[in-house]
Structure 1
Amino acid sequence: MIRTGLLLAAGASRRFGAADKLLALLDGRPLIFHAADAMRNAALTRRIAVIANPALRAYLHGFEIVEIRPAAQSDSLRAGLQVAGETDRLLIALADMPRVTSELLDMVTSTATEDRPAACHDPGPPMPPACFPRGWLTRLADLTGDQGAGRFIRALPAGALVKAPGLLDDIDTAPDLARMKKTAR
């Protein structure tokens, strides 16, 4: 079974400010490092990262890199899908979620079935990381604009959701990063 990990790291980081948030430090390492390391340690056959900033390449050893211009969410997803090609499972993770673990990625991948995706929740609505079986990849490829896979995972039944307490915080703004630094102490 081919299990492909897709790390989405091509956002414009507009709400964070002028700097690329994925290079901001958390626990002494750039945010991109945390997400990439979790994916590197997950039970995957391939790893792909979609980036907009070439400076992120230094933290993505072991990944096939797709570089695009900062654009809509669906653009980075479709760029990753094109490189992924034929895969049995596509695990999608976001680079601005530094608390996601390789164990969580593996649980999400194993919760997906041949005909149903899987995603996470904490305890709110379903969210990434999410894993999609081969039969769902054309639906993902048809997404446009700032539409990610969220609309698909929000409709998943409870049995397709992996509980991930404390692991799904994402960094959108500098205050988000400051809060995460405080809670890590």
Structure 2
Amino acid sequence: MTMGIAAEHCILVLLAAGRSERFGDTDKLKQPFLGKPLAFHVVTALESVPFKARLAVCSGSDLDFGRCGYRVIHNDDPGDGMSGSVKLGVAAAREIGCAAVVIVLADMPRVTATHVYRLLEAVTGPDAVIASSNGVYPSPPAVFGADQFDALLTLEGDEGARAMVRAGRHVIAPEADLLDIDRPEDMERLRALR
């Protein structure tokens, strides 16, 4: 039985602290796309979702997530991999208090609010792990119920929460909506989708 969870009980954790190593010498999150930096597309897509709070975990970028309503958390050690950013975001969300976190990547510019609402509708309780999938591979965005926070806080390395995501429930989205920009050729694919 699907219960679902209201966005008002969830905290959005936007991960924007990656080192862009596979992208080359430039910050991929600042790459221009349709008139604004790549990272602000998911920000815009989710701005009407009434989350309890919005957190952006960043490293050296000078993108101003604060002006978009996010509390900015600095990851001083982005070399710790995605798990370090996840832990910072979840620890801050737990401090505020929430029923779940919605983890989204800043380099996924085609994520939609509709898809995030579908993830929230699939939540069945506080132990839920609901991830996105293109029908083959699970990926972020993902929702983690409060009972998963302890597990998230023990993650290590760049695997992030991949094992938890693989074992969780998956909500299918079009492959293009889950495009993750890691390399310059991904940016070319993104521009070709317009």
2:172: which partner in 1?
Answer: 163
1:90: which partner in 2?
Answer: 101
Flag the 1:180–1:59 CA change in 2: closer, same or farther, 3 A: farther
Residues 5 and 39, structure 1, Cα contact 8 Å, conserved in 2 = no
Gap regions ≥5 residues in structure 1: none
Gap regions ≥5 residues in structure 2: 1-7
1:140-159 pair list within 5 angstroms:
140-156=152-168
Of residues 54-63 and 32-41 in structure 1, the stretch that sits farther from structure 2 once superposed is: 54-63
Amino acid at match of 1:155: A
TM-score, length basis structure 1: 0.92
1:32: which partner in 2?
Answer: 39
Of residues 93-102 and 31-40 in structure 1, the stretch that sits farther from structure 2 once superposed is: 31-40
Residues 101 and 145, structure 2, Cα contact 8 Å, conserved in 1 = yes
CA RMSD of superposed structures (Å): 1.5
Distance (whole Å) between structure 1 residues aligned to residue 24 and residue 48 of structure 2: 31
Of residues 42-51 and 58-67 in structure 1, the stretch that sits farther from structure 2 once superposed is: 58-67
Q: CA deviation at 1:41?
A: 2.2
Residues 39 and 47, structure 1, Cα contact 8 Å, conserved in 2 = no
Q: CA deviation at 1:64?
A: 0.7
> Percentage identity across aligned positions?
34
- The secondary structure found in structure 1 opposite 2:110 is coil
Structure 1 runs of 4+ with >4 Å offset: none
TM-score, length basis structure 2: 0.88
Distance (whole Å) between structure 1 residues aligned to residue 107 and residue 67 of structure 2: 14
**2:131 matches 1:119:** yes
How many residue pairs match? The answer is 181
